[in-house]
Amino acid sequence: MSLLIFVFLRSLLFSLFFRAISPFQIGCICNNAILQDGKLHGQPTEGALLRLALQLRIADTRQLYSRVHEWSFSSETKMMMVSCLRNGQTPLDVLLPEQYAAPTYFAKGAVDRILQRCAYVQSLPIQTATIPHPLRFKELPDCLHQQPPYPMTADYRTAVLAEAATLGSLGLRVLAFADGSDPDQLTFHGLVGLLDPPRSGVDLCVRTLHESGVRVVMITGDALETARAIGSRLSLYRPGDYCLSGEEVDQLSVAALRTRVHNCTIFYRSGPRHKCKIVKALQHCGLVVAMTGDGVNDAVALKSSDIGVAMGDSGTDVCREASDIVLLDDNFSTILAAIEEGKSIFHNIRNFVGFQLSTSIAALTLIALCTLLSLPTPLNAMQILFINILMDGPPAQSLGVEAPDELVIKQPPRRAQDPILDRRLMTNVLIAASIIVGGTFWIFWLEMADNHVTPRDTTMTFTCFVLFDMFNALSFRSQKKSIFSIGLTTNRMFLIAVALSLFGQLLVIYLPPLQKVFQTESLSFIDLILLVCLSSSVFFISELRKLTCFHSWRLPKLCFSFRSRNGARYFKLDDNMV
């Protein structure tokens, strides 16, 4: 975590060298992060504060105090406080024993929550200073003279809140620091702003999700200004977008919240109970919701969502157990990759099912048609088994490893109620099956003009059906994109499967032992050319249909590009993950 420090002090050097305690020392004392084997362990915020203390050479401040009690940070209190006793290791303990015998309270947290407990302020003038990085001090001299605190006034409190809002608008997470002998009358020492820049590529990922019809919403515990600044950097917030606070979520009923979540892009100052309420409101709108989380408090919301996504690196065990998906690299961009992979898998499943159905329907229809017309069976049992097992299997399986299609990825999410076999796919299946049946039956009718079924008749019919099968598999590689734009060689497994199937067909036709088994005979080169030209019709008709469908499909895509303009940390799909 990168760290930028902004403090309210009369003078930075005065704070570091002529005060007994500084905001940085409070951040070091009120801290549970540890340095072990050269690595920081703990929360990122506390780790950043401890790293700064190490650079300022004030990390040994912890050794001056023994912790008596700790009030841990929570989403409700939004602050952490500890009570400590001096260990008697400095001259101050000897010269001022009555002052350091009582416990001292150190607190850090949200600015408004800390100010509620502050009755004094360490210095009156408000100045902003930027701490250089890194700072190196050989030692911090002790000084017995400590400036007495001033009473906290309403004007000063307003000025502090205004300055905190200014820092938040820069995308900084602002923390306030205070100490004192009374936990309800603390002395305010200053503010610290922490900058945790988004990973590179997250804004591009969010824009791509918007184009894919995925709406992304941010739920955060930060202040409004900080949330807006981060949302703007992530391309999920625009001026004028609606934001809701955790308190407003508490005040709204589920029915009222359902009408507000549609236009809300950022939920700020939100806790675990707010996340659950937001998830349920979105689900009541008929939407499929996915949520990310890493803490124990996120477990309930992750379990309530349709798709819980946990952080694998920084996430807790409870969080990972409650989730459905674990991101091993804690990278939001991985979610985009998962959505793309899901859409690609679903697209390939549709292609597989469509190809298998068209071939099976064609074979069943061909045999049924001949039976109804009192014609001999065009295919014998061995040939039918050969088609179903060896001709359909390998090409169909190779369709499952087709590379992701860019046009498919940018399609909006489908509805959860939509079946795999929709009207468009069934239309494509029936068209392909009709062409296969028509072409194969025509060849069979021509060959048996003498009303006698010979091995040549069944061989021509058998080979015609197999070639129709191969061209049909080629056309089902994509439902909307031309094969020539995809590339004939992009799916090498498909090429190998088709090549092996055609080689097996040639063996069945020309190898004498197999000719006896399958009751076939050799065909001339002219016969093969005729069958290839006829069977390729299913491919070219499919290409013509794709050309028409592609142009008709581009218009809805533009509508979805502006329909979903929102955020990170928590995300929701308009209809379905895939």
| Structure tokens that stand for 4 in this block | 């930028």
Neighbours of 50 (CB within 10 A): 22
Is 365 within 8 Å of 457 (Cβ atoms)? no
Q: Give the Cα-Cα-Cα angle 283, 288, 291 (nearest 5 degrees).
A: 90
Condensed to tens digits (0 to 9), the pLDDT of residues 264-301 reads 889 998 888 888 889 988 888 888 899 988 878 888 88
Q: 6-194 adopts what CATH topology?
A: Calcium-transporting ATPase, cytoplasmic domain N (3.40.1110)
β-pair type (242-245, 264-268): parallel
| Structure tokens that stand for 355 in this block | 């190809």
CA distance 497 to 394: 5
Q: Which residues contact 232 (CB under 8 A, 6 or more apart)?
A: 238
CA distance 111 to 6: 13
Compute the mean pLDDT over every residue in the chain, rounded to the nearest whole number.
Answer: 81
Region of 82 on the Ramachandran plot (φ > 0 left; ψ -120 to 50 alpha; else beta): beta
Confidence of residue 118 (pLDDT cuts 50, 70, 90): very high
CA distance 459 to 510: 11
Q: Where in the chain is the domain with CATH 1.20.1110.10?
A: 337-535
β-bridge mates for residue 176, sequence order:
109, 191
Nearest to 234 by CA among 194, 268, 265: 265
pLDDT at 20 over 80: no
Condensed to tens digits (0 to 9), the pLDDT of residues 324-369 reads 999 888 888 888 888 888 888 888 999 999 999 999 999 999 999 9
Angle between helices 537-561 and 202-211 (to 10 degrees): 110
Q: Where in the chain is the domain with CATH 3.40.50.1000?
A: 204-331+565-573
Tell me the average pLDDT across 140-167.
Answer: 73
Q: Please report, rounded to a whole number, the percentage of residues in the chain having pLDDT higher than 90.
A: 28
Between 135 and 104, the higher pLDDT residue: 104
CA distance 480 to 341: 18
Least confident of 30-34, 65-69, 90-94, 198-202: 90-94
Sequence-ordered strand ranges (E) for 283-434: 288-293, 307-311, 325-327
What DSSP state is assigned to residue 391?
A: I
Q: Where in the chain is the domain with CATH 3.40.1110.10?
A: 6-194
Q: Which residues contact 362 (CB under 8 A, 6 or more apart)?
A: 432, 433, 436, 437, 440, 465, 468
| Structure tokens that stand for 398 in this block | 């190779």
Is 17 within 8 Å of 139 (Cβ atoms)? no
Only one residue has tokens 């362990």, namely 41
| Alpha helices, H only, 410-524 | 423-447, 455-475, 483-486, 492-510, 512-518
Widest Cα–Cα separation across the chain: 124
Is 280 within 8 Å of 567 (Cβ atoms)? no
The reported pLDDT for the residue numbered 502 is: 93
Helix (H) or strand (E) segment spanning residue 381? helix 381-386
Q: 204-331+565-573 adopts what CATH topology?
A: Rossmann fold (3.40.50)
Least confident of 86-100, 184-198, 546-560: 546-560
Tell me the average pLDDT across 383-412.
Answer: 84
Tell me the average pLDDT across 14-25.
Answer: 57
Domain 337-535 -> CATH class: mainly alpha
CA distance 330 to 311: 5
CA distance 444 to 307: 53
pLDDT at 105 over 80: yes
CA distance 148 to 126: 16
